Amino acid sequence: MPDFSKDKNKESIYILGIETSCDDTSAAVLKDGKIISNIVANQKIHEEYGGVVPELASRAHQQNIVPVVDLAIKKAGISPQLLNGIAFTEGPGLLGSLLVGVSFAKSLSIAWNIPLLPVHHMKAHILANFIEHDEMKLPEFPFLALTISGGHTQIVKVNDFFDMEILGETLDDAVGEAFDKSAKIMGLAYPGGPLIDKYAQKGNPKKFKFPKPKVQGANFSFSGLKTSILYFLQKQTKENPDFIKENLYDLSASIQYTIVEILKEKLLYAIKQTGIKRVAIGGGVSANTGVRQMLKNLSDEMNLSVYIPNFEFTTDNAAMIAIVGYYMYQNQQFGKLDVVPKARMKF
Ligand code: KG4
Ligand code: ZN
């Protein structure tokens, strides 16, 4: 193992971040905690399949990884010699996708003699709240983090950068999947979450009632909702084949309302249990208008402090990986060259 203890650049810390856990290939460069480049290559290929196809995702990462990392470094306007660390997603995620990023980070580490910083993807979604942005309102510890995306749904108590405790998580589908699968049942394109959000603005959220799951504590379950929507629509379209088309706005509003109510209930439970009234959110679903309105209402009604990163840092991105790497670098938490990707990873 080379000697990484020397500080290459005493004035500033430069971290390269690499993220390949799912279907986005991303690379970012961070200077002293500030993003100086963040490149994300989305994989359009999955749209026609109505969901992420793991085998296709890893092939696309293989094609994208070199140009994406190259562009991130060029856009940052720095020489790789300046980099102090290479942060990469170790897990959790799709194994074939992770393998591409992990192998590439290791190769760069050897070639450039730069230490590795293996990052937990879910912790990165949370610490994305520390990426400096326009409003610059950073959360104070301890706070609660609600991570809601196509792959994850968690409520985490964040005591410190590296001291986090999962209070609740989904027992089946993630909240983004609940949106996307409901959209698919209604015949909408993938990913359907943003479409449901769009149509919901014009609909009546109380028009149709869908059951909420009975799950203990701060845990979530979304698979029952999908099934009840499926049965409901099968029954309705038997009587009226145009039922979905005629009720698209009200259906979207009612589905969104139910999902947001589920999130709200669990969040209120976690707030009550911990007495913590600071909530940070992350993940693609934090773009949802209903989720944002719910958080705004809570902040007005009960004086809740809400933190939302800029949109580009809520979905999968390498800037959030780099920010975790930045804190790990300062703690000298380096990885070894025999590090392997982990589809499942302990928190
Ligand atoms: O964080 P993300 O980009 O990728 C991961 O899943 O990790 O999240 C994507 C998810 C998809 O399920 C997508 O439908 C959902 O976020 N999403 C939304 C909205 N924007 C993205 N769901 C509801 N409303 C939105 N506005
Ligand atoms: Zn993610």
Q: What does the pLDDT look like over 243-292, one tens digit per residue? A: 999 999 999 999 999 999 999 999 999 999 999 999 999 999 999 999 99
Mean pLDDT of the chain: 94
User: Helix 54-76 to helix 95-112 angle, to the nearest 10 degrees?
Assistant: 30
pLDDT at 51: 81
Which atom of ligand 1 has the smallest separation from the CA of 151?
A: 6
Asked if the model's pLDDT at residue 234 lies above 80, the reply is yes
Identify which of 103, 136, 176 has the alpha carbon closest to the alpha carbon of residue 307.
136
How many Å lie between the centroid of ligand 2 and the Cα of residue 36?
21
Q: Which of 43, 47, 181, 285 to mutate to test the pocket of ligand 1 (most atoms within 8 A of CB)?
A: 285
Q: Which atom of ligand 1 has the smallest separation from the CA of 197?
A: 24
- 341 within ligand 1 shell (Cβ under 6 A): no
Task: Looking at the CA of residue 314, tell me the nearest atom of ligand 1.
Answer: 1
> For 17-36, what is the mean pLDDT?
95
Mean pLDDT of 312-323: 95
Percent of the chain with pLDDT over 90: 86
- Closest-CA residue to 84 (of 22, 29, 133, 21): 29
> How far, in whole angstroms, is CA 151 from its chain's centroid?
8
- Ligand lying nearest the CA atom of residue 290: 1
Ligand 1 lined by 309 (C-beta under 6 Å) = no
* Residue 9 predicted with pLDDT over 70: no
User: What's the pLDDT tens digit per position in 200-228?
Assistant: 999 999 999 999 999 999 999 999 999 99
Q: Which amino acid is at 189?
A: A
pLDDT over threshold 80, residue 124: yes
Instruction: List the structure tokens of 67.
Output: 């140009």
At the fourth CATH level, the homologous superfamily of domain 14-129+315-330 is ATPase, nucleotide binding domain (3.30.420.40)
Counting every residue written for the chain, the total comes to 347
Respond yes or no on whether the N-terminal peptide bond of residue 142 is cis (omega within 30° of 0): yes
Per-residue confidence (pLDDT) for residue 17, from 0 to 100: 98
Question: For 67-103, what is each residue's pLDDT tens digit?
Answer: 999 999 999 999 999 999 999 999 999 999 999 999 9
Strands (DSSP E) found in the chain: 14-19, 24-31, 34-42, 85-91, 116-120, 143-148, 153-160, 163-169, 278-282, 305-307
Contact call for residues 10 and 84 (beta carbons, < 8 A): no
Evaluate whether 14-129+315-330 and 139-309 have a shared fold: yes
Ligand 1, atom 22, lies closest to the CA of 193
Q: Is the dihedral of CA 259, 262, 264, 267 positive or negative?
A: negative
Domain ranges in the chain? 14-129+315-330, 139-309
Per-residue pLDDT, 151: 87
**Where residue 46 falls among pLDDT bands split at 50, 70, 90?**
confident
Identify which has the larger pLDDT, 11 or 252: 252
Question: With a threshold of 0.85, does the pTM exceed it?
Answer: yes
Ligand 2 centroid vs 283 CA: distance in angstroms? 6
pLDDT the model gives residue 130: 94
Torsions phi, psi for 153 (to 5 deg): -150, 110
pLDDT tens digit sequence for 148-200 = 999 889 999 999 999 999 999 999 999 999 999 999 999 999 899 999 999 99
- How crowded is the C-beta side of 127, counted as CA atoms within 13 Å? 24
User: What pLDDT is recorded for position 207?
Assistant: 98
State the greatest distance between any 2 C-alpha atoms of the chain, in Å, as a whole number. 73
* Among the bound ligands, the one closest to the CA of 256: 1
Tell me, what DSSP letter sits at residue 220? B
Strand, coil or helix: what is 276? coil
Q: Which of 346, 182, 162 is nearest to 262 (CA)?
A: 182
pLDDT score recorded for residue 1? 47
User: Topology of 139-309 in CATH?
Assistant: Nucleotidyltransferase; domain 5 (3.30.420)
Question: How distant, in Å, are the alpha carbons of 143, 220, 221 from that of 229?
Answer: 34, 17, 14
Query: How far apart are the CA of 97 and the centre of ligand 2, in A?
Result: 13
Average confidence (pLDDT) over 38-42: 94
Q: What are the tokens at 343?
A: 């589809």
Q: What percent of the chain has pLDDT over 70?
A: 96
What is d(CA 219, CA 168) in angstroms, rounded to the nearest whole number? 4
